[in-house]
Homo-oligomer: A and B are copies of this chain.
Amino acid sequence: MATETETRPWERLREFANGEDTVGLKEFLSSLEPTEAVRAILRLDTDSQEKVLTTLSPAEAADLIEDLPDEQAVEIIENLEPADAASIVTEMQSDEQADLLADMESDDAEAILREMPVEDATEVRQLASYDDNVAGGLMMTEFFKYEENATAGDVLDDLNARADNIDDYFTHYAYVISSWGKLVGVLEVRDLALTPRRTPLAEIMAPAIFVKAETGLDELKGFIDRNFYAAIPVVNRRGSLLGVVRRTAVQEALAERADREMLRMQGIVGGDEIRTLPTLTRSRRRLSWLSVNIVLNIAAASVIALYIDTLEAVIALAVFLPIISDMSGCTGNQAVAVSMRELSLGIVKPFEVLRVWLKEISVGLINGVALGAVLGGVAWAWKGNPYLGLVVGGALALNTLIAVSIGGVVPLMLKRAGVDPALASGPILTTVTDIFGFFLVLSFAALMLPKLT
């Protein structure tokens, strides 16, 4: 079935890690595609990971760490000696440094910060104080700034002098600040080439469009959608320039959020699972969600227990209970997905509950009748009893209406309440639709019992 023997780069990497051939190790790693390298690193044990990272130069190790999923990057860095970890972290871009350290245990982060150059450490501490998903948490602090009375020539000379040392800088723009330190304008570095050297920056700069450090990810998305800038300057309340958020950083943060949302909707919570994590950790995290779910399931199914006499009288209903439960879940999930997407595109607002509900019941009505007719027809055909068809089909039709209503509306209400809709929409949906579905089919059956037996 599997053809795993085709390539096993992590086994070769492990051999290198256990051997002494450091040149071979470096060459082998750089021969791998980035995702291959990530795959290989993740499958090593902790000791081999440490060996690999400390064999590479700190800059090479930093590149590798930046490619890893966040949680694994944190774990690997935490396992290193603080001094080694500090050497690697120091080589990372400031926005990546802050992300990494903010996700660590604070003791581990402190130990690493103490080993870092004081200036870097201070900067990282400040960046790490912002939330991950605001401009302050996404910005980098390596950028060019000049006072407004400088000239184009001054800037070119300065850039020239620093040319060997600007790898980590954001080099598309230079920012112009007033003598009070406030952001007043922006220059495209490439435009300087076309400008007489003596021109004061104030004459050639464009007015700066900026965001506050507290600006959230959705607003930043709006900003990059509207503007073509490769980066957005970030200012504090006084208007002083703190850093720049690259377009790329915003897009990465959006992708990570979408990724996390997908995992949560499917019941992976408490951390983004990867199968190289220890079995017990994976099991515990998955159980944390499943244990809530089993309680909700038992609660919903206890509705059936209330109608055990009806069920005993019309045992065929037992076949249809799981179908109604499943189908209502599917129908409701479609509505959840559309609401989640419309929320994330910003084309529906959390307060538009009524609008979404009206849009959902119109679809729910059509689909409910269609699905109810199919299931009712099957029930009728199976038992030759049209009333059984009516009970089963009617219950599914009504429950479809309930499912799309809940599925459409619950994500909006959770969002308004500040609860993650990706996490809670599913369990709420299936519990409520199960309860209503079981209740509808069994109470209809109880009412029509004489016709069914």
Contact residues of A with B, CB < 8 Å?
1-4, 6, 33-36, 38-39, 42, 67, 69, 156, 159-160, 163, 171-172, 188-190, 192-194, 222, 225-226, 230, 247-248, 251-252, 254-255, 258-259, 261-263, 265-268, 272-275, 279-280, 282-283, 286-287, 289-291, 293-294, 297-298, 300-302, 304-305, 308, 311-312, 315-316, 318-323, 325-327, 329-331, 333-334, 336-338, 340-342, 344-349, 351-356, 359, 362-363, 366-367, 370-371, 374-375, 378, 382, 430, 434, 438
Instruction: State whether A337 touches B268 (Cβ < 8 A).
Output: yes
- The docked-state distance in angstroms from the alpha carbon of A31 to that of B371 is 45
* Nearest Cβ on chain B to A164's Cβ, whole angstroms: 12
Q: Which residues on the B side are within 8 Å of A230 (C-beta)?
A: 172, 230
- The docked-state distance in angstroms from the alpha carbon of A251 to that of B366 is 38
Q: Can you add 9 more A-B contacts, CB < 8 Å, to A262-B265, A290-B331, A308-B318?
A: A3-B351, A39-B348, A255-B258, A259-B341, A265-B266, A286-B367, A301-B319, A301-B322, A311-B318
Closest to A364 in B: B283
Q: Which residues on the B side are within 8 Å of A193 (C-beta)?
A: 156, 189-190, 192-194
Instruction: State whether B354 touches A1 (Cβ < 8 A).
Output: yes
With known contacts A315-B315, A345-B69, A274–B338 Cβ distance under 8 A: yes
* Nearest Cβ on chain B to A380's Cβ, whole angstroms: 13
Q: Which residues on the B side are within 8 Å of A33 (C-beta)?
A: 222, 226
Q: Which residues on the B side are within 8 Å of A340 (C-beta)?
A: 262
Instruction: State whether A266 touches B160 (Cβ < 8 A).
Output: no
Q: Which residues on the B side are within 8 Å of A362 (C-beta)?
A: 279, 283
Q: Which residues on the B side are within 8 Å of A337 (C-beta)?
A: 262-263, 265-268
This protein's copies in its complex: 2
Instruction: State whether A226 touches B156 (Cβ < 8 A).
Output: no
- The docked-state distance in angstroms from the alpha carbon of A446 to that of B352 is 52
Instruction: State whether A294 touches B225 (Cβ < 8 A).
Output: no
Closest to A337 in B: B266
* Nearest Cβ on chain B to A250's Cβ, whole angstroms: 9
With known contacts A194-B159, A287-B367, A326–B430 Cβ distance under 8 A: yes
Instruction: State whether B352 touches A4 (Cβ < 8 A).
Output: yes
Q: Which residues on the B side are within 8 Å of A265 (C-beta)?
A: 262, 265-266, 337
Instruction: State whether B255 touches A342 (Cβ < 8 A).
Output: no
- The docked-state distance in angstroms from the alpha carbon of A134 to that of B300 is 47
- The docked-state distance in angstroms from the alpha carbon of A35 to that of B315 is 53
* Nearest Cβ on chain B to A10's Cβ, whole angstroms: 10
Instruction: State whether B338 touches A323 (Cβ < 8 A).
Output: no
Closest to A264 in B: B337
* Nearest Cβ on chain B to A261's Cβ, whole angstroms: 7
By CB atoms of chain B within 10 A, which of A159, A273, A375 has the most? A273
> Can you list 9 A-B pairs, Cβ within 8 angstroms, ordered by A?
A156-B193, A248-B248, A263-B341, A265-B337, A272-B341, A287-B371, A289-B334, A290-B371, A297-B327
Instruction: State whether A315 touches B311 (Cβ < 8 A).
Output: yes
- The docked-state distance in angstroms from the alpha carbon of A35 to that of B346 is 6
* Nearest Cβ on chain B to A143's Cβ, whole angstroms: 14
Instruction: State whether B279 touches A363 (Cβ < 8 A).
Output: yes
Q: Which of B267, B283, B315, B322 contacts A333 (CB 8 A)?
A: B267
Instruction: State whether A67 touches B371 (Cβ < 8 A).
Output: no
Q: Which of B247, B286, B349 contacts A363 (CB 8 A)?
A: B286
* Nearest Cβ on chain B to A87's Cβ, whole angstroms: 21
Q: Which residues on the B side are within 8 Å of A315 (C-beta)?
A: 308, 311-312, 315
Q: Which residues on the B side are within 8 Å of A371 (C-beta)?
A: 287, 290-291, 294
Q: Which of B69, B159, B345 contacts A35 (CB 8 A)?
A: B345
* Nearest Cβ on chain B to A271's Cβ, whole angstroms: 11
Q: Which residues on the B side are within 8 Å of A2 (C-beta)?
A: 351-355
Closest to A359 in B: B275
Q: Which residues on the B side are within 8 Å of A171 (C-beta)?
A: 190
